[in-house]
Structure 1
């Protein structure tokens, strides 16, 4: 179900980032629409929460089947709006489908605990749904995030009102359509469009039980503050400035591939990216040579072509912001090994799109802006280190702690380093691998709670304790 306020005066242009042209105009939802969406979600919750887990699972599995059937359609729409390559967009659709399948299985296994008490009495716990949940998505993974938030919520018996980013609002509507076609009650997953004002209305709504947000740290803090006024739990998946540590004993070719995956997926617009690449000094020269060679070979252009590996950044202001970070890095003493410039594809239809060449910065130091701040673009900052203790201290010197990675052939060192890294999602000899079966989320200012994995059930349910007396009341009065 999609809600929108036809009479609202605020209208924003939705740009086709691959070509720099207006794709359509978006009307934001106002208070009347938000109220209608929450009412519809409340009605759906009344029905949905009473279904057996197996009944909810059937609907979810049908939704997953429909996503698989419409994979290419959804991926192509994601490309047009978001700008990422069709190869990556297909993987995003697959992740969404797998997430819904996984939590369909979890819906059938929700259970509590039985505790035997003295005298034959006993107690038990029940995991019960929260009610109407709000999901607020980001623009880098529009369809995938909508699925990652909705799947655990509805598996537990909740309903969800979802607000996608106003920059990429389209594919969440397709997910709502698919849930409806799969047999979900009307209002179980509703989409409202808009920006900050619409999000504020959702967070403050008295009938909303929980808010789950993916986005920047400053916005996450505001959402946490708004939700706290209603004592509502939040799940926050926020920014990162993650370290990737490459030791001298590693397979260099494998480490270079990992560094590229850690920096250039989705044009570098990934919160978990390992953009602080720490390379042990003894292998720094060959690493730089190979990473620059492979970065220069990345094919940029029309993201709808299978051979393209890097599409357009999401908007013109964002492109200018990322290019500004490269300029600032040069002013602070970093050396550009390659890239960091606007790119104009050969296809004249794409000449006004928001493209840039992926950038590798050498000679970076811990105090540089490019090392301290999240750029959210295809910019890799390479730093040299000598010892394990040194690199651990430097890697943890950040207010953020979303992800971290290590490349080494020494198994003991790998686990020792991971144990001491202050990050919620860690990788050994790989990077940016996010199977839906395992939790994803951060330490420190990178967020609260987790997406995916069995533990997510805890964030979309509330625990009820029931004590059953089998004898007489032993009263003090």
Structure 2
């Protein structure tokens, strides 16, 4: 690359450039690659702009936001090769960059899918159940999650310029907040290229994403109570930012994902000839050399049985001996450079400090395959051995953020767990064993100080994603030194960006607010059976009160014969009186459900296409011979269902509240029924000619 890059900031709807600034150096050959600067950026104005523009995001439903993320993921995936080209300038191989680039874009798809599958097509998220607050049922309450009115300020680390941004952007956008991204300077030009494509796509509302490529200036001084900060980086920097006067004074939510001294434990039962031994050696070597060891989840401490130290050392010597280092654009290079010469020198200094309590037992000094040995930021993989790990301090406090790991021998599982806990909080840990009892003991011993634990063995070796791979569906964060936050974790990451409010009202008003039927609310009954209405015609609160049916002995006997369920409480008169808890024979619970279906189902073909499921079934009171039941069926909520490839018939899922009462009006059973109901084609459906 001959032309110097000048990555710009994107704030207040405009690209902002400055001729002067910090010069960034190519990590492989030591050549100038970019100049970045945020001089002249109005940080207060950028935050104010994001808050104003965020109103447009908050007007969108969860599903609309999710569809935008899915479209954006497709758009970026089509342009990924440009990101790979820039990423190699940071010292990353294509394999390293795959995790960053395609892993980051994959996060957009994951959050899009989770939101469309698990969240309502609304601007708010009902949380938990309706709480009855009064004896008569006229006063109820429920929690709602609603978007915050501020901006999510996202400060990212240098090691994942794409993934680090997108894994924060996705849950923030789904949660209804605008994002202001501040990438680390060393790799900001990669982030800027992706942001430029996002802005040009027009797929997100204007103001949903802003970018500051240079120094953050007085950005944090202008935060308000409605804003929030998500930080990824060193624990030391996190500690400084967390006590910023504005963050503390205005109680600004601050989420941290900090580098940690992650550990991997080899089980005491493992033998050198076991598959788990080879898995352990490969996993440690892979985590040391992936991204040249520059991962916040990388294995820094290898905790191994004392009698296997020599075997593990030899295994790592062989495995790391296969690692070729040099220019990451070459196909025969497995490990590139650290992000900068300055970063390499910091790692070397930490390595020197670690040697006060440990000695180097493995190092890989192979010739470079391309790259400049002096100007490039290359560092050979290094393994140390600390022979007194329970009393040492360095291995549990000093992190060499590069291809460095320390072997820590142990004699008992209790000692192994204690060594892992000495790291004072980790993002990720791994346990390699095929002994389930051993795995259980170690998981229990490590859980309090870890955000995620991988138990690896021969059974999951082919499918496991690795010690250091965060997944959108699972927690990414950790206690203590790891920051005490959580960036991912499925929809819990969306919750971080929302305010939880308790709404108290009468059932009818709460139904109107949440658009989800609350027991005790007014219902609408008309001459048209609810099952004769399409998804679009149905309204929450549409209801049917069925005819009555008296339960007979013949009903119970016939149901027992049909199903084979001859439980004594249903068919044994003497046993039911002497041993049963009801003092009489009672009808099968599933008979009641079946009888209720016979009461409310409209049998002719119509908009209701199928029974989709049943949830929350509770049998409240027994029904005996001679009791009379009737059922009230009420439309509880509606969920639009997206057309899948090959489908041509648009549908939605309708959730019905079903309440069975006896002759005294006492509730005997309650449950929710899900039905698949035909709906009209709408603007979000793909054209019919693309569905065949």
Q: TM-score, normalised by structure 1?
A: 0.91
Work out the CA distance in 1 between the residues paired with 2:186 and 2:111: 28
Higher relative contact order (CA closer than 8 Å, sequence separation 6+):
1
C-alpha displacement of 1:135: 0.4
CA separation of 1:223 and 1:372: change in aligned 2, threshold 3 A: closer
Give the counterpart of 1:356 among 379, 382, 393.
379
Work out the CA distance in 2 between the residues paired with 1:470 and 1:252: 61
Secondary structure of the structure 1 residue equivalent to 2:207? coil
Secondary structure of the structure 1 residue equivalent to 2:229? strand
C-alpha displacement of 1:171: 2.4
Contact 1:202 1:208 in 2 (8 A): no
C-alpha displacement of 1:330: 3.9
In structure 2, the partner of 1:116 is 132
C-alpha displacement of 1:46: 1.1
1:162-183 C-alpha deviation (Å, 9 max, x unpaired): 1000111122223323333152
Unaligned stretches of 5+ residues in structure 1: 472-477
Contact 1:344 1:351 in 2 (8 A): no
What is the number of equivalent residue pairs in this alignment? 465
In structure 2, the partner of 1:104 is 112
1:237-284 C-alpha deviation (Å, 9 max, x unpaired): 012012211124332111111111332221111112221111102222
Q: Would you say 1:449 and 2:485 are equivalent positions?
A: yes
C-alpha displacement of 1:37: 2.2
Contact 1:299 1:308 in 2 (8 A): yes
Matches within 5 A, 1:26-425: 26-30=36-40, 32-80=41-89, 82-108=90-116, 109=119, 111-113=125-127, 114-118=130-134, 119=136, 120-130=138-148, 131-180=150-199, 181-195=201-215, 197-198=216-217, 200-202=218-220, 204-206=222-224, 209-226=227-244, 227-250=247-270, 251-339=276-364, 345-347=368-370, 352-366=375-389, 367=392, 369-421=394-446, 422-425=449-452
Give the counterpart of 1:440 among 471, 476, 485.
476
C-alpha displacement of 1:188: 0.8
Work out the CA distance in 1 between the residues paired with 2:371 and 2:258: 37
Q: Which has the higher mean CA deviation after the structures are superposed, 312-321 or 343-352?
A: 343-352
CA separation of 1:387 and 1:220: change in aligned 2, threshold 3 A: same
C-alpha displacement of 1:16: 1.0
Contact 1:239 1:272 in 2 (8 A): yes
Work out the CA distance in 2 between the residues paired with 1:464 and 1:206: 19
Q: Which has the higher mean CA deviation after the structures are superposed, 138-147 or 221-230?
A: 221-230
Q: TM-score, normalised by structure 2?
A: 0.64
C-alpha displacement of 1:296: 1.7
Secondary structure of the structure 1 residue equivalent to 2:237? helix
1:282-306 C-alpha deviation (Å, 9 max, x unpaired): 2222211111111121111111233
CA separation of 1:269 and 1:7: change in aligned 2, threshold 3 A: closer
Task: Answer 1 or 2: which has greater helix percent.
Answer: 1
C-alpha displacement of 1:365: 3.6
Secondary structure of the structure 2 residue equivalent to 1:169? helix
C-alpha displacement of 1:349: 6.0
Secondary structure of the structure 2 residue equivalent to 1:389? helix
1:113-133 C-alpha deviation (Å, 9 max, x unpaired): 433333323223221112311
In structure 1, the partner of 2:30 is 20
Contact 1:240 1:271 in 2 (8 A): yes
CA separation of 1:433 and 1:412: change in aligned 2, threshold 3 A: farther
In structure 2, the partner of 1:474 is none
CA separation of 1:61 and 1:350: change in aligned 2, threshold 3 A: farther
Work out the CA distance in 2 between the residues paired with 1:405 and 1:349: 35
CA separation of 1:350 and 1:68: change in aligned 2, threshold 3 A: farther
Work out the CA distance in 2 between the residues paired with 1:188 and 1:142: 19
1:293-342 C-alpha deviation (Å, 9 max, x unpaired): 11121111111233322111011111112122333444545133223x6x
Secondary structure of the structure 2 residue equivalent to 1:313? coil
C-alpha displacement of 1:155: 0.7
Contact 1:15 1:24 in 2 (8 A): yes
